[in-house]
Structure formats: structure tokens, C-alpha cells
């Protein structure tokens, strides 16, 4: 078996594909998540008569198992029909859509007419289109996918080895000009159907997908649409993203990969999927020959119409901590508003500790800190255990706060959202309460408030207080106000 990868395949790379006619109504298809992770073929037309194998590989961190997983997909085609292309992937997408529409994935067999496929694809009703569909279906039934620790089983919750053809069988009947004449059929492989029936699928906006002109843009759209599910800001190794997940040749150096990716990214920006970004922000140099690429999803129309809320006190505190460590104000603002604050705090603590070690100290602390936050750097468990110290104070002695009488018909355990007016009233009540305390009782109340605050707020306050930072006073009042509110209804 030839595993030389795409370098051994002569391609008319990234050749534009035909754009279907305007879809009258927005159609939402389904995309099996394993199939969206790697390209299933070349992103152009395969001109080789001899090479019938492609492979893609990457390494990911499995959060559940807490291990790195080396994944690989090998795609092998038949000698006669060869490897699948981007046009074949389009037909697979349409077959998934029709199966969902026809029977909701309750039946592995889909019955259809080739005329129906042509109309759904939006391609001309011609002999060439019928021939294209016939060859594509015959190709899919002859192509074998070999997943090596790269097929995720939602049922078993682990990475598995799987080898199978996507289509188990194809039955083609003569050309029909009637849209309702359902004669031909395909049968999905049981591996695919089992995964889909376990709900390991995502929605795929077919209108957006088919509006993309370049095969690389369509593949990137499927992959990123899956990865953006958890967060809207992603950072990848440039070569891994471009070669293993989009399908560009491994023969290219980083400079060439950037050039080849540019038209793809522009298309994704034009359809409102990716945020526009200058190249100096898009690409991050790690070292000679090693780059990362940063991609952000466009916010929803609702988010665009409504201006973002002002930064919270915690966000302001984290931003200041990042600036103190050499991060630019713009970079600190972006990190503090787009990433988990507890995660940033934990990363800062780890980088602070790492910078004091005699060995393996990062040469550029600010750059390392920013990269660690953006990439979701895995903090060593040994460091986490070292930082997790149980609270030594469980004293119940403290300042008694006037309690609010509970109504008889109130629902226990359910807190109602507070209006701005109620927040202002509580602030006034807190100040009045503190003025009525002795100096010692007021100090004790403040200590209790800080001790009962969540780990992130408490540590941030202590750090700001130690540095005599002006933000410490604002965070102190917020912590005391939260404690006052909890104490009132205790």
C-alpha cells in the first residue's frame, strides 16, 4: 500500500467547483462528525492513474482520558475508480441530507432518483451530470476508510480502529426525468448508521456550504463548523490545519501554505463565517519553520446588533494582571473577554511558577502566556494538586447579618435575577450595615467575605491588594456585597 500521502498525487489543487443554483429555502443537512474531521479525498481532480491511497494524521489531547492521541486516517481507492474528490464529498453530503429528510436515519437504505440528486445539487440536468453521479456512487462503494485510533464512538466513549466503505451497496436504475420517480438506492454502512443514530452528528447549513466556490473552503467549513461548537476562537498548528484537516499538500513550506490558504479564508470571511483578521494577527510564529494559525467565528447577528456589555470587575482585574506580565493592552482585553477567567487565572499562576524555575523557563514570558491561554495549554496535574489546598478555617463565628424573612410561598433553592434597582438597594444596605459595626466587627466581616468568595475572586483580590492596585477596592466591595446578600437569606 502506498502511504506517501498527497505529495505523491498530482492534483489540480483547489480547482473551483460549480456553484449550485440559489437554494430557494434554507436547507439544513446533517454531517457525521467523524467524517467532518479529515478530508476524505483530494481537494482537486486526481490526475494520477497509479496512486490510490491518501493518509491524514494529527495528535490531539483527549480531555476525558487525559492523554494525547495520535490519530490517522488512510483512504484507499480502487484501481478502476480511484480516489474520491471534492465533488464526491458534495454528493455524500446530499445523500446524508436526503436520508435525514426521507426517514430520519431510521433506515440504512435510501431510495431516490438521480434526477432528484441533480436538482438537490443544483447542477445542470445533462448527460454529464448523470455520468458524474454514477461514477461518484460507484467510487464511494469501492473506497475504503481505515481509521486508526481516530474513529470516535459515542456509545463507548473512546477512540477506535475502524475499516469500512461508507456505502455498503449501490443500486442504479436507468435515467428518469420525473422528480418523484424513486428507483435507485444506496445502503449506508452499519458503522456510519450506528454513529449517526447515536446522535454523533451536527447540523450543516447547505446554503452556506454550497455557496463556497473552493473545495478547500468547503472542507474547512465542515471541519471548523464542528470545532467551533465549544468555542468561537481556535488556534491550530498551521501545517496540521492546512495539510491534515483541509487537505493541502505536505510539500509546501509554511509560507506557501499561507498563500494557498488565503483564498479559502477569504471565501469563509465573505460568507460571514470567519472574522476578518490581518495576517500579523492570523499567523503566530513559534520558531523557524513552525507557525500557528488563529481563527475566530463571526458572532451571531444578535450579538452584532447588541453592543457588548462593559467588562466585569473580574475581567478588569485579569486584564490588569496580564498587562503586568508584559501582555499588550489590546491582547489582554481580548483574552479577558473571550476566554474562561478561572482558566486564565490558573494559567497565570502556572506561568508565574514556571518563570521562577531554574530550568525550562520560557524565554519570552508574555508570548508564552498568551499562547498558553489561547491554545488551552494543559496545566500539569502535579501543579494543580500543589495549588489545591483545603481551607483551614471552618469557623462559624462571625458577624451576624440581619436576615431577610422568607415568604411562605417562595420556592426554596431558586434564586431570582436581580434588577439594577435591587443591586443599588443592596449596596446602600451594605454600607449602612458596615457603618453600624465596630471597627473589629467590620474587619471580621471583610475577612469572612474574602474567605467565602470563590477561589478565582479571592485569589485575584489578594494579589491586587498585595500590589496596592486601585482595582482591589472595587473587587473588595463586590466580594463583600456578594457575602452580604448570601448572609441575609442564610
Nearest to 141 by CA among 80, 56, 215, 199: 80
Contacts of 424 (CB under 8 A, 6+ apart): none
> What phi and psi, each to the nearest 5 degrees, are found at residue 59?
-130, 130
Phi, psi (degrees; rounded to nearest 5) at 435: -65, -25
The set of residues, in sequence order, having a beta carbon less than 8 Å from that of 240 and lying 6+ positions away, is: 58
Strand order from edge to edge, sheet including 53-62: 53-62, 67-76, 144-153, 158-164
Residue 108's closest CA among 176, 166, 27, 183?
A: 166
The residues, any chain, with a CB within 8 Å of residue 202's CB and separated by 6 or more, are 30, 31, 33, 36, 225, 226, 229
Q: Output the CA–CA distances (angstroms, integers) from residue 107 to 33, 100, 152, 169, 179, in the order listed.
A: 19, 10, 22, 14, 21
| Pairing between β-strand 158-164 and β-strand 144-153 as defined by DSSP bridges | antiparallel
Per the CB < 8 A criterion, the answer to whether 109 and 182 are in contact is no
Angle of helix 455-466 relative to helix 341-355, nearest 10 degrees? Answer: 50
Q: Quick one: CA torsion of 229, 231, 233, 239, rounded to 10 degrees?
A: -50
Q: How far apart are CA 218 and CA 223, in angstroms?
A: 9
Q: For the stretch 283-292, what's the b/e string if a residue is b when 16 or more beta carbons lie within 10 angstroms of its beta carbon?
A: bbeeeeeebb
Torsion sign across C-alpha atoms 48, 78, 143, 5 = negative
What pLDDT was estimated at residue 420? 44
Give the Cβ contact number of residue 398 at 10 Å: 16
Which residue is listed with cell 469572612? 448
- Please give the pLDDT value at position 20: 46
pLDDT at position 307 is 36
Give the C-alpha separation, 84 to 437, whole Å.
77
Mutual angle of helices 471-488 and 420-435, in 10-degree steps: 90
State the Cα–Cα distance between residues 356 and 351, nearest whole angstrom.
9
What is the phi-psi region of residue 482: left when phi exceeds 0, alpha when psi lies from -120 to 50, beta otherwise?
Answer: alpha
Q: Which residues pair with 169 in a beta bridge?
A: 187
Tell me the pLDDT tens digit for each residue of 343-390. Answer: 788 888 888 888 887 776 777 888 888 878 876 666 776 676 666 554
Question: Taking the model in full, what pTM does it have?
Answer: 0.59
Digit-coded pLDDT (tens) for 187-197: 999 999 999 99
Q: At what angle do helices 127-142 and 114-121 cross, to 10 degrees?
A: 100
Per-residue pLDDT of the chain (490 residues; tens, 9 = 90+): 333 333 333 334 555 554 444 443 467 889 999 999 999 987 754 444 447 899 999 999 887 788 899 999 999 999 889 999 889 999 999 999 999 988 889 999 999 999 989 988 888 989 899 999 999 999 999 999 999 999 999 888 899 999 999 999 999 887 654 544 568 999 999 999 999 998 899 989 998 999 999 999 999 999 999 998 878 889 999 999 999 999 999 999 999 999 999 999 999 999 999 999 888 889 999 888 899 999 999 875 433 333 344 456 677 788 888 888 888 877 787 787 767 777 788 888 888 888 887 776 777 888 888 878 876 666 776 676 666 554 444 443 455 565 544 444 433 333 344 444 455 667 777 777 777 777 777 778 888 888 877 766 777 777 777 766 556 776 778 788 877 777 765 4
Give the separation between CA 151 and CA 160, rounded to whole angstroms. 5
Amino acid at each position: 500500500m502506498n502511504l506517501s500521502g498527497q505529495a505523491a498525487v498530482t492534483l489540480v489543487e483547489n480547482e473551483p467547483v460549480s456553484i449550485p443554483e440559489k437554494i430557494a429555502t434554507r436547507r439544513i443537512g446533517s454531517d457525521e462528525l467523524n467524517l467532518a474531521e479529515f478530508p476524505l479525498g483530494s481537494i482537486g481532480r486526481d490526475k494520477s492513474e497509479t496512486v490510490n491511497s491518501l493518509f491524514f494524521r494529527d495528535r490531539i489531547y483527549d480531555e476525558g482520558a487525559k492523554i494525547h492521541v495520535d490519530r490517522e486516517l488512510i483512504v484507499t481507492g480502487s484501481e478502476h475508480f480511484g480516489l474520491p474528490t471534492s465533488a464526491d464529498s458534495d454528493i455524500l453530503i446530499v445523500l446524508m441530507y436526503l436520508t435525514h429528510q426521507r426517514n430520519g436515519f431510521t433506515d440504512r437504505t435510501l431510495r431516490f432518483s438521480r434526477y432528484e440528486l441533480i436538482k438537490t445539487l443544483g447542477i445542470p440536468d445533462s448527460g454529464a451530470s448523470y455520468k458524474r453521479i454514477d461514477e461518484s456512487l460507484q467510487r464511494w462503494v469501492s473506497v475504503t476508510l481505515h481509521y486508526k485510533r481516530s474513529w470516535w464512538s459515542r456509545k463507548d466513549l473512546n477512540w477506535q480502529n475502524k475499516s469500512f466503505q461508507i456505502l455498503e451497496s449501490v443500486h442504479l436504475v436507468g435515467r428518469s426525468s420525473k422528480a418523484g420517480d424513486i428507483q435507485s438506492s444506496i445502503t449506508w454502512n452499519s458503522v456510519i448508521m450506528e454513529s449517526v443514530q447515536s446522535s454523533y452528528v451536527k447540523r450543516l447549513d447547505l446554503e452556506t456550504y454550497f455557496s463556497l466556490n473552493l473545495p478547500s473552503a468547503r472542507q474547512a467549513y465542515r471541519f471548523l463548523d464542528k470545532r467551533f461548537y465549544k468555542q468561537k476562537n481556535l488556534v491550530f498548528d498551521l501545517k496540521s490545519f492546512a495539510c491534515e484537516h483541509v487537505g493541502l499538500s505536505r510539500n509546501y513550506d509554511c509560507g506557501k501554505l499561507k498563500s494557498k490558504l488565503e483564498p479559502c479564508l477569504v471565501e469563509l470571511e465573505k460568507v460571514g463565517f470567519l472574522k476578518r483578521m490581518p495576517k500579523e494577527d492570523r499567523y503566530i510564529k513559534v520558531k523557524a519553520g513552525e507557525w500557528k494559525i488563529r481563527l475566530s467565528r463571526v458572532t451571531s447577528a444578535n450579538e452584532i446588533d447588541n453592543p457588548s456589555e462593559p467588562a466585569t470587575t473580574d475581567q478588569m482585574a485579569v486584564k490588569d494582571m496580564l498587562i503586568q506580565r508584559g501582555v499588550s493592552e489590546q491582547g489582554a482585553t481580548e483574552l479577558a473577554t473571550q476566554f474562561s477567567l478561572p482558566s486564565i487565572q490558573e494559567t497565570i499562576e502556572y506561568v508565574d511558577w514556571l518563570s521562577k524555575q531554574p530550568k525550562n523557563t520560557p524565554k519570552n514570558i508574555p508570548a508564552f502566556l498568551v499562547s498558553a491561554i489561547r491554545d488551552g495549554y494543559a496545566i500539569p496535574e502535579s501543579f494543580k494538586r500543589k495549588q489545591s489546598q483545603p481551607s483551614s478555617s471552618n469557623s462559624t463565628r462571625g458577624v451576624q447579618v440581619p436576615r431577610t424573612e422568607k415568604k411562605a410561598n417562595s420556592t426554596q433553592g431558586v434564586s431570582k435575577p436581580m434588577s439594577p434597582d435591587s443591586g443599588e438597594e443592596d449596596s446602600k444596605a451594605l454600607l449602612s450595615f458596615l457603618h453600624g459595626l465596630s471597627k473589629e466587627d467590620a474587619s471580621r466581616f471583610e475577612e469572612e467575605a474574602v474567605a467565602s468568595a470563590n477561589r478565582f475572586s479571592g485569589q485575584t483580590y489578594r494579589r491586587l491588594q498585595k500590589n496596592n492596585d486601585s482595582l482591589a477596592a472595587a473587587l473588595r466591595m463586590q466580594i463583600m456585597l456578594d457575602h452580604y446578600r448570601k448572609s441575609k437569606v442564610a
